[in-house]
Amino acid sequence: MGTEAGDVDGRNHRPGRGSSASSRHLHGVGGASAAEVNLSGRRPFAEKLWSDLAETFFPDDPFRGFGALPPARRAWCAVKYFVPALDWVPRYGLDKFKFDLLAGITIASLAIPQGISYARLANLPPIIGLYSSFVPPLMYAVFGSSNNLAVGTVAAASLLLASIIETEVAADENPQLYLQLFYTAAFFTGLFQTALGVFRLGLIVDFLSRSTITGFMGGTAMIIILQQFKGLLGMKYFTTKTDIISVLHSTYHYRHEWKWQSAVLGICFLLFLLSSKHLRKKLPKLFWVSAIAPFMVVVIGGIFAFLVKGDEHGIPIVGNLNKGINPLSIAQLTFQSRHMKTAVKAGLLSGILALAEGIAVGRSLAMVKNEQIDGNKEMIAFGIMNIAGSFTSCYLTTGPFSKSAVNFHAGCKTPMSNVVMSVCIMLVLLFLAPLFKYTPLVALSSIIVVAMIGLVKVKEFCHLYKVDKFDFCICMVAFLGVVFFTMVAGLSASVGLSVVRALLYVARPATCKLGNIAGSETFRDVKQYPQAKSIPGILVLQLGSPIYFVNAGYLRERILRWVEDEDNLCKSVGHDLQYLVLDLGGMTIALTNPRLEVTEKLVLSGYVRDILGDEWVFLTVKDAITACRYALQISRNKGEDEV
């Protein structure tokens, strides 16, 4: 059995301990295995502590094999572990570069419109979105372990950051401080992500279950789509709140600002972008059409706005974009106490969300190529690139699914595709940035709407409802919390519910009665396998969770109920229940296959020596049942002799 305490069988009265010879006879009776459980093993405390820590924080044992290497070689391998580029760059050649070049150019064409769009979504200057697609990808190419991930800004984190920071300062009232808090939040995000990776604490991200992420991303996509009414309708004023009621109220309240010119142009852009996505589904080889479609919308929209002077005829444009690469922003980081709480909160929450998305995307794409990425190394890479980004006028970046999927389908071979993208963005910043000043805001809104539609996974919602109602509830809590309240409220409530569910699994583990399947030595749940038969006078139970202090009382009560029910059943057919599971007051137990940790505690506490007896510790359930049957037969023979 797979429980911490092992599989156990107990009985109403304990037979005499007898001599060691009788103990050996009990284990060997009926063809049972001659091997016995090792009860003499005892490890030093330091060894046990190190084993537990290693299993918790180093389950993949990344440094295995280093010990046999010379010191210099060992140090070099350690450096390569933390800087993966040192491993793949020496083996890099032209055969791979031609694929990475194509992939890099392709994702650069997507990075330009997405960077500008998501910066606008966060109420930041559009140029910040382009800055964020230059430095961070270079850092990831050096420290990242995924060959498929493409780095950039993401819509959900952009809106989350804006919703948190705007509670402290409004973008239109103090744009300089607002921008500084974004840089500072990115700095704290980087520190947090790096610390998680260095101290191997990636398990924290595991609390963001698939159902939580699905609901949160779906709800976020919904409110982002609704917020694009501002750009699609050419509105100037709009609410800074993110809940659906405030957004719809603001849209209606400022209806006098609606511009039909923007609406018509927006419909045209939406139809074009949706058609390109449909074409990709019908003809997967033409994926590049949908990849460059957003860039084409920006170019065509910019030319159209320039020719018709759109800003004078109901089509607002982006405005001036200055030439030049990222200016240093390290001096703009603000650590004033009155703003520190907001910056830390924004950095931590957006950092967890960015990690969950980036690592999930990297792992899913790696599985397709039968590759493997190290989650903790990814955290370090994300952390370093966000710290570097905060110093160079960037805000939070991660591995967005849309851009990474394009990178994957474009045939990328290594992180060099991110370097190619960075070079393309650098050329845009140096020579072409001013040309994007005529980009219509409605074009950016159209790009965001089409990108967000795919994040509302209705089929996934239906699947969760069909398979697991509790997971569906967790998903809906995140979705409805984001849509009707705030992003933080929805995410927090869903994570809290997920944690409660995990605790319930531990505090209220499932137990089941096992029976023997005829013609075999296998014992299975009698509810799942109705043909499994109980052994007369013996109750075999399986525990669905390790035994901890939080569930010890519950397990005792649950087992007592099993005992009472089984005892009544046995009496109805004319015999008594003799052997049970676990320690039930005066009843002794038989342990089956206890783990090393359990064995140590049983021996050190004196339980095996003074209470149970080592003759009642077995390797298999079959051995335990055989011994119980033998003891029952001896007991019956003694009763007959006395009569």
- Model confidence over 543-579: pLDDT tens digits? 777 777 888 888 888 888 888 888 888 888 888 888 7
- Tokens for 268? 């045209």
CA–CA dist 196, 205 (Å, integer): 9
Are 484 and 531 found together in one domain? no
On the question of pLDDT at 141 being above 50, the answer is: yes
- Tokens for 11? 């009985």
pLDDT at res. 47: 73
Are 349 and 223 found together in one domain? yes
Are 496 and 517 found together in one domain? no
In a domain, 398, yes or no: yes
In a domain, 62, yes or no: no
- For residue 211, count CB atoms less than 10 angstroms from its CB and return exposed for 0-12, middle for 13-18, buried for 19 or more: buried
CA–CA dist 257, 441 (Å, integer): 15
What is the pLDDT confidence band of residue 101, given thresholds at 50, 70 and 90? very high
Number of domains within the chain: 2
On the question of pLDDT at 7 being above 80, the answer is: no
Q: What is the mean pLDDT of residues 455-469?
A: 91
In a domain, 36, yes or no: no
On the question of pLDDT at 13 being above 60, the answer is: no
CA 285 from centre of chain = 30
Q: Could you tell me if 472 and 211 are in contact, meaning their C-beta atoms sit under 8 angstroms apart?
A: yes
Q: What is the mean pLDDT of residues 225-245?
A: 89
On the question of pLDDT at 398 being above 90, the answer is: yes
On the question of pLDDT at 115 being above 70, the answer is: yes
Q: Where are the beta strands (DSSP E) in 122-186?
A: none
| CA dist list (Å): 1 to 227, 526, 543, 583, 595 | 54, 15, 8, 17, 10
In a domain, 531, yes or no: yes
Q: What b/e string do you get for 425-455 counting C-beta neighbours within 10 Å, with b at 16 or more? A: bbebbeeebeebbbbbbbbbbbbbbbbbeeb
More confident residue, 544 or 388: 388
The count of C-alpha atoms lying within 13 angstroms of the C-alpha of 3, restricted to the half-sphere facing its C-beta, is 24
What is the pLDDT confidence band of residue 48, given thresholds at 50, 70 and 90? confident
CA–CA dist 114, 406 (Å, integer): 13
Which has the closest alpha carbon to 407: 394, 397, 420, 395? Answer: 420
| CA dist list (Å): 586 to 14, 228, 612, 615 | 9, 70, 11, 18
CA–CA dist 357, 379 (Å, integer): 12
3-state secondary structure 513-551: EEEECCCCCCEEECCCCCCCECECCECEEEECCCCCHHH
In a domain, 64, yes or no: no
SS3 state of residue 401: helix
Are 468 and 590 found together in one domain? no
What is the pLDDT confidence band of residue 30, given thresholds at 50, 70 and 90? very low
User: What DSSP letter does each residue of 357-392 carry, written as one string?
Assistant: HHHHHHHHHHHHTT----HHHHHHHHHHHHHHHHHT
CA–CA dist 402, 273 (Å, integer): 14
What average pLDDT is seen over the chain? 84
More confident residue, 295 or 630: 295
Q: What is the mean pLDDT of residues 325-343?
A: 94
* Choice among 134-138, 173-177, 517-521 with the minimum mean pLDDT: 517-521
Q: What is the mean pLDDT of residues 121-146?
A: 95
Domain that holds residue 540: 509-641
| CA dist list (Å): 571 to 500, 535, 575, 587, 640 | 40, 14, 5, 18, 20
More confident residue, 549 or 476: 476
On the question of pLDDT at 105 being above 60, the answer is: yes
pLDDT at res. 3: 37
Are 467 and 597 found together in one domain? no
CATH number of the structural domain spanning residue 569? 3.30.750.24
In a domain, 449, yes or no: yes
Are 496 and 518 found together in one domain? no
* Choice among 81-95, 309-323, 592-606 with the minimum mean pLDDT: 592-606
According to DSSP, the β-strands at 588-592 and 617-618 are parallel
8-state DSSP, 606: T
In a domain, 446, yes or no: yes
On the question of pLDDT at 54 being above 90, the answer is: no
> Tokens 């009926």 label which residue?
30
Are 608 and 491 found together in one domain? no
Are 486 and 543 found together in one domain? no
pLDDT tens digits, residue range 338-366? 999 999 999 999 999 898 888 888 888 88
What is the pLDDT confidence band of residue 126, given thresholds at 50, 70 and 90? very high
3-state secondary structure 275-319: HHHHHHHHCHHHHHHHHHHHHHHHHHHHHHHHHHCHHHCCCCECC
On the question of pLDDT at 591 being above 80, the answer is: no
In a domain, 292, yes or no: yes
Question: CB neighbours of 109 closer than 8 A, spacing ≥ 6?
Answer: 291, 292, 294, 295
Q: How many CB atoms lie within 10 A of CB 640?
A: 8
Are 485 and 516 found together in one domain? no
Are 497 and 513 found together in one domain? no
Sequence length of the chain is 643
Task: Point out the domain boundary residue: 501, 532, 563.
Answer: 501
pLDDT at res. 103: 92
Alpha helices in 29-154, H assignment, sequence order = 45-57, 71-82, 85-88, 94-121, 126-131, 135-143
- For residue 556, count CB atoms less than 10 angstroms from its CB and return exposed for 0-12, middle for 13-18, buried for 19 or more: middle
Task: Point out the domain boundary residue: 472, 501, 530.
Answer: 501
Q: What is the mean pLDDT of residues 209-223?
A: 89
Are 297 and 240 found together in one domain? yes
Are 494 and 515 found together in one domain? no
Q: What are phi and psi of 420, to 5 degrees?
A: -60, -45
- Tokens for 404? 């990474």
| CA dist list (Å): 165 to 244, 340, 547 | 19, 11, 45
Task: Point out the domain boundary residue: 480, 501, 522.
Answer: 501
